[in-house]
Amino acid sequence: MHSRIRVIALATAMLASFAGVATAQEKKSLVVAEPVHGTGYLPLYVAIQKGFLAEENLDVKVLTIDSGAGHTNAVLAGQAFAFIGGPEHNAFAKIKGGELRAVVNVVDRGNVYITAKKGLAPAPGESMASFFKGKSIAVSFFGGTPNSVVHYLLGQWKLNPKTDVTLKEMANSAILAGVKAGAAQIGVTTEPILTRGIKEGIWGEPIINIPKQLGPYAYSTLNIREASIKNEPDVVARFVRGIIKGLKFTDTHHEEALAVAKKEFPTMSLDDLKATIDRSFADEMWSKDGMVSTKSWDTAEAVVLEAGILKKPVPYGDIIDMQFVKSALASAK
């Protein structure tokens, strides 16, 4: 009788364990908000298209919200699970009482290229401060990272953004048309818009290459509510594992990553798309392991502090949580 009771108890425990696993691995639908649909986020698209997130029993959709802090607000309001963007948005929220955390890195360089209208470029030996003074600059809305980078550079050059230049703030998608129409002489853009403008003869090669100029930079991380870490850590862990697989695949399978990009940007010519992706690899745009280094945050923080957008320093640990990345990397060894 005692033996039989032990068998029943063991079976009950095993069933409970299996039920727990099933619950933990329940299929989950998640929304990731992005501020623009661009090739800079290619590893995220790779993770979705190649099934790395599906392998984690996650159905992930991307929602494009082309406005300053709309992607951040979508997460704060619970309309999206995560947003892809600079962790400085977590710092902005922190100061206002919101709790967001970067849980995995995607873009580890400042994905910003500054161009000048075709035929307009700094003269040999001319300083950037002299070149920019008095010109109109087409840039994304205030609060977006490209806008912050412009304010940072103007601060470095001792130029007043209100009196020394004219900032024409607009949607990312409108910058090419703004420069083409003559509304601005300088464009602050990203790929694939950069390559498109070069091919169309609207502007030349970048006069400032931010990935090379600023180095490691936590430019676009995947950020979630701290409550998600506390309430559904298994979902967060699965999400991070899937993204890391996408990062590694992008780094080691360039042609297949290009094929994913072609599906995401079907109207872009293959030659232009390849030039765009090749530039990103050459500029070491993407993280290879998902880690956000302290140096990367130091750079990102310096940009928004100098720009005056972040009012006070925010410690790394208050807005960045790498526990899931570390766990994923350790288990993959």
246-304 pLDDT, tens digit each: 999 999 999 999 999 999 999 988 988 999 999 999 999 999 999 999 999 999 999 99
CB atoms within 10 A of CB 237: 20
CB atoms within 10 A of CB 5: 9
The confidence score (pLDDT) of residue 10 equals 43
Q: Of the candidates 254, 137, 234, which has an alpha carbon nearest to the alpha carbon of residue 189?
A: 137
113-214: which CATH number, 1.10.340.70, 1.10.3720.10, 3.40.190.10, 3.60.15.10? 3.40.190.10
The confidence score (pLDDT) of residue 9 equals 43
The confidence score (pLDDT) of residue 180 equals 96
CATH code, 27-110+215-332: 3.40.190.10
pTM listed for this prediction = 0.83
**Residue 68 scores a pLDDT above 90:** no
Q: Which residues of the chain does CATH 3.40.190.10 include?
A: 27-110+215-332, 113-214
**Residue 20 scores a pLDDT above 70:** no
CB atoms within 10 A of CB 122: 14
162-181 pLDDT, tens digit each: 999 999 999 888 999 999 99
| Torsion 172-139-106-60 (CA) sign | negative
272-283 pLDDT, tens digit each: 899 999 999 999
Are 324 and 222 contacting, i.e. CB atoms less than 8 angstroms apart? no
Can you tell me the mean pLDDT for 219-224?
96
